[in-house]
Amino acid sequence: MFDLIQYLVDGLAVGSVYALIALGYSMVFGVLQLVNFAHGELFMVGAYFVMYAISLGLPWPVALGLGMCFVGLFAVAMERLCYKPLRGAGKLAPLITAVGLSLLLQNLVQAILGPNPQSYPARVPEGKLSQFFGQYLPDPSQLQIPHLPDGLFDWNDLVIRHRDLMIFTIAVFVTLGLELFLRKTRPGRGIRALALQPNAAKLVGVPFDFTISMTFFIGAALAVVAGLLQGMADNQVTPYMGISSGLKAFAAAVLGGIGVIPGALLGGLVLGIAERLLVGYDLSTYKDGAAFFILIIVLLLRPQGLLGKARMVKV
Amino acid sequence: MMEQLLEYSILPLTLFGITAIQALGLQLILGGAGLLSLGHAAFYAVGGYSAAAFTVYAAPYLGLSQPLLLMLISLLVGAGSALLAGLIVAVPCLRLQGDYLAMATLGFAEIIGTALKNIDAVGGTRGFTGIPKLSSLPWVFSVLALVWWALARFNRTGLGLAIRATRDDEIAARSLGINTYATKLSAFLLGSAIAGLAGALYVHALQFISPDEADFSRSVVIVLAVVIGGMTSLFGSVLGALILVAVPEVLRFAPDVIREQRMIYFALIVIFVMLFSPKGLQSLVLRLARRHQKNESSSLGRKLGGAG
């Protein structure tokens, strides 16, 4: 029984990272009904970007800010070049393009930075790149690498790591902030209007393309936050982290009710806790299936997701 | 040199045939019934594993040793088990719509993959080895031709038409008295069974299968084949399978710079095909053919006009 509570607490941190990625899936799906399969790769690119920026000697808030802008603009460019021309070409064409983009990003990163995991301080792999960048990379011994807090809360035997608590708190605040942004500000209301009724939103003057770009930008920026947290928590980034976490984050978004912001948080936490429970009870080989097992059960009982509202289809 | 080339081309050709059979099965589900299944490779893996388990464990027990008969039975076992797996997935999932259905099929595929990794009798994560070599290139291509022919016939039957009517407008189809649930179910089951056939051929040609075959990336390859080729026709799916198998193979012979990064070029090709021809390459081929035809007929017209 005691273990159970411990696993529940541990699962929150894993789930929080899923939740931060899931927010991007959820927002883009809400507006365009598009599953942006490349979103997981944005998380991976963001994790790399921030790790290299910090290894160049930038303080972490600057590195994070730069990463959010860079990956956000990248996502906007991706939408303009690859998804916008396919609006009205059915649902499958953009989906396949997204799969293509995901493959492309994963292999590009692997080709440039090498297939092996990187950890702090990140080095550029041997070759021309490293000769070029080598002169700019500072001496690793002088580098200030930021750490997530190391301490523990300890009640009787229930241990809560400060770092897990911090990740969880960040995820909750980001979700709350996003929900406030969507409810209270003008551009945020624009996003909700587009998600609810695109044509009516255009009629009342919501700038269509701008709002969609903004949706992609915000989603990507949140994925970078997740990338930084994951990279610091595991002290490792790999070219493949996007595909595995991305798929589960998408499952989390659907689980909580796709298009519903608090749903993404809830879905992420449920999946994270479930995985941690399986690892805790020595069933870790079943871990990857578990997320989807829960997903299917929930979809069958509540097809709109845990917090989603069912929509009537009118003829 | 020629012999080496022929020998080398056996494996890619086999893989092309198997991918084409998978794609034909998915074409019925995706292009025919309009159901996006992101777990098609799982049914293929189930078919492959069951067929292999049959020849390795059950056949000696039953005293079967005649290769032709054994292969035929294992094809049936593969198709049957994939159909059964399809039934387990489809009965609950077909109540879901659109992207939720896609997610549920993806989820089931992951579960099947995870389960296969945990069954020790079929090798677990190491994969299933020691499968007798029963099928070969002629087998693969005969089954491909048979499936293609049968599906072309099937599409013209009442059920085949009902499947497409359900895809185009479910409510209208229901008002015409079509049981839309049953038509979707039959398309899903038939498509899964065809994937099972491909699995049975694969294990007996390569004598090996691993849980990776049920992986999401394998399912994506099949979806890519169907969509890149053009999902509304059988020819498109086979064309798509050809492209998906041939492009990485051909890039293998390209100069070093390109060869090392062939997945990047592959991804770029996928993106560009979708951007410039969202209905698939088959429509591009048809458009070119039609233009060619028009040119011919117009020059014919001019000639006739000149004569008259």
Give the position of tokens 């038409």: B161
**Band of pLDDT at residue B308, cut at 50, 70 and 90:** very low
Yes or no, beta carbons of A299 and B263 under 8 Å apart: no
Asked whether the CA dihedral B75, B76, B82, B83 is positive or negative, the reply is positive
Picking from B91, B264, B269 by the largest number of A CB atoms within 10 A of its own CB, the best residue to mutate is B264
Interchain proximity B114–A285, CB inside 8 Å: yes
Per-residue pLDDT tens for A179-204?
999 999 999 999 989 888 888 998 99
Mean pLDDT to the nearest integer, A203-226? 92
Q: Does pLDDT of A110 surpass 70?
A: yes
Count of Cβ atoms closer than 10 Å to residue B111 Cβ: 23
Question: Per mean pLDDT, which range of A278-292, B205-219, B250-264 is the poorest?
Answer: B250-264
Distances (CA, A) of A3 to A160, A228, B209, B211, B214: 13, 29, 38, 32, 34
Q: Which helix (H) or strand (E) holds A160?
A: strand A158-161
A97–B270 C-beta distance less than 8 A: yes
Interatomic CA distance for residues A30 and A54, integer angstroms: 34
Higher per-residue pLDDT: A146 or B172: B172
Residue owning tokens 């490293």: A130
Q: With contact defined as beta carbons under 8 Å apart, do B214 and B112 qualify?
A: yes
> What is the rounded distance in angstroms from the CA atom of residue B71 to the CA atom of residue B65?
10
- Dihedral sign for Cα B134, B45, B271, A226, please: negative
Reported confidence tier of residue B227, pLDDT bands at 50, 70, 90: confident
| Mean pLDDT taken over chain A | 84
Instruction: Report pLDDT for A4.
Output: 78
Is some CB atom of chain A closer than 8 A to the CB atom of B268? yes
Phi, psi of B253 (to 5 degrees): -90, -5
Provide the 8-state DSSP code for A118: B
Check if A244 contacts B (Cβ < 8 Å): no
Identify whether the C-beta of residue A118 lies closer than 8 Å to the C-beta of residue A237: yes
Instruction: Write the burial class of residue A44 (CB in 10 Å: 0-12 exposed, 13-18 middle, 19+ buried).
Output: buried
B-chain CB neighbours of A300 within 8 Å are 92-93, 95-96
Q: Which of A42-56, A79-93, A278-292, B16-30 has the lowest mean pLDDT?
A: A278-292
Q: Is the ipTM of this complex over 0.85?
A: no
**Nearest CB to B117; choose among A89, A92, A285:** A285
Measured between CA atoms, how close is B148 to chain A, in angstroms?
23
Do the Cβ atoms of A296 and B108 come within 8 Å?
Answer: yes
Q: What is the DSSP string of B76-135?
A: HHHHHHHHHHHHHHHHHHTTS-HHHHHHHHHHHHHHHHHHHHT-GGGTGGG-B-------
User: Could you identify the residue written with the tokens 């400060």?
Assistant: A162
Of residues B195 and A243, more confidence is placed in: B195
| Beta-carbon separation of B104 and A100 below 8 A | no
Cα angle A106, A110, A115 (rounded to 5 degrees) comes to 120
B291: CB partners within 8 A, 6+ apart: none
**Dihedral angle over CA of B203, B205, B208, B210, nearest 10:** -50
Please indicate whether, in this complex, the C-beta atoms of B97 and A293 are within 8 angstroms of each other: no
Confidence of residue A293 (pLDDT cuts 50, 70, 90): confident
Name the residue in chain A with its Cα closest to that of B125.
Answer: A285
Centroid of chain to Cα B151 = 13
Q: Is B198 on the interface with A (CB under 8 A)?
A: no
> Phi then psi for B18, rounded to 5 degrees?
-70, -45
- The answer for residues whose C-beta is within 8 angstroms of residue A230's C-beta and 6 or more apart is A17, A43, A47, A237, A241, A245
* Contact residues, chain B, for A99 at CB < 8 Å: 220, 223-224, 270
Q: Which residues of A touch B30 (CB under 8 A)?
A: 92
Q: Which residues contact B245 (CB under 8 A, 6 or more apart)?
A: B12, B15, B16, B19
Cis peptide leading into A59, omega within 30 of 0?
no
Q: From CA B179, how far away is CA B191, in angstroms rounded?
A: 18
Higher confidence at residue B258 or residue B204?
A: B204
Q: Between A85, A289, A295, which is nearest B103 by CB?
A: A295
DSSP B147-161: HHHHHHHHHHSHHHH
Residues with Cβ < 8 Å from B225, sequence gap 6 or more?
A: B19, B20, B22, B23, B26, B237, B240, B241, B243, B244
CA distances from A8 to A14, A158, A227, B274 (A): 10, 11, 23, 44
Residue with tokens 């299917």: A296
Least confident of A5-9, A194-198, A260-264, B79-83: A5-9
Question: What number is the average pLDDT over the span A133-159?
Answer: 68
CB A292 within 8 A of CB B106: yes
Is 60 exceeded by the pLDDT of residue A296?
yes
- Which of A99, A104, A251 lies closest to B220 in CB terms? A99
A99 vs B224: CB contact, 8 Å cut-off? yes
CB within 8 Å of A26: residues ≥ 6 apart:
A253, A256, A258, A259, A260, A261, A263, A264
**pLDDT value at B250 more than 50:** yes
**Closest CA–CA distance from residue B270 to any residue of chain A (Å):** 6
Instruction: Say how far apart CA A80 and CA A256 lie, in whole Å.
Output: 28
Q: Any CB–CB contact under 8 A between B231 and chain A?
A: yes
Tokens of B233: 């026709």
pLDDT at A251: 87
Q: Determine contact: B93 vs chain A, CB below 8 A.
A: yes
Instruction: List chain B residues with CB under 8 Å of A295.
Output: 103-104, 107
* Nearest CA-CA partner of A55 in A47, A170, A75, A107: A47
Is B103–A108 a contact, with Cβ atoms under 8 angstroms apart? no
Which amino acid appears at position A292 of this protein? F
Query: CA of B261: which chain A residue's CA is closest?
Result: A111
Question: Which two tokens mark A300?
Answer: 């069958």
Measured between CA atoms, the residue of chain A closest to residue B30 is A92
Contacts of residue B104 in chain A, CB cutoff 8 Å? 295-296, 299
Q: Is A25 an 8 Å CB contact of chain B? A: no
Quote the CA–CA distance of B260 and B179 in Å, as a whole number.
52
Interface of B with A in 138-197 (CB under 8 A): 171
Q: What distances in angstroms separate CA A314 from CA B60, B95, B213, one per listed residue?
A: 58, 18, 41
- Domains defined for chain A, CATH in brackets: 2-115+142-301 (1.10.3470)
Tens digits of per-residue pLDDT, B31-85?
888 888 888 999 999 999 999 999 988 888 887 778 888 899 999 999 999 999 9
In 3D, which of A1, A20, A38, A2 has the Cα closest to residue A271? A20
pLDDT digits (tens, 9 = 90+) for B176-223: 999 999 999 999 999 999 999 999 999 999 888 988 888 888 888 898
User: Residue A153: phi, psi to the nearest 5?
Assistant: -95, 140
Q: What are phi and psi of A158, to 5 degrees?
A: -80, 115
Contact B18, B235 (CB under 8 A): no
Interface check B40 vs A, CB under 8 A: no
Indicate whether B225 pLDDT > 50.
yes
- Average pLDDT score over residue span A220-242: 89
- The set of long-range contacts for A82-85, using a CB threshold of 8 Å and a minimum separation of 24, is A82/B271, A82/B275, A83/A32, A83/A34, A83/A36, A84/A209, A85/B275
Chain A nearest-CA distance from B155, in A, is: 22
Inter-residue contact B227 to A92 (CB < 8 Å): yes
Residues from chain A contacting residue B99 (CB–CB below 8 Å):
29, 33, 35, 254, 258
Residue B180 φ then ψ, to 5°? -65, -35
Cα–Cα distance, B254 to B260 (Å, whole number): 9
Q: Does A306 touch chain B (CB under 8 A)?
A: no
Residue A314 has what pLDDT?
53
Which residues of chain A are within 8 Å of residue B36 when distances are taken between CB atoms? 91-92, 95
Ramachandran angles phi, psi of B128, nearest 5° = -95, 120
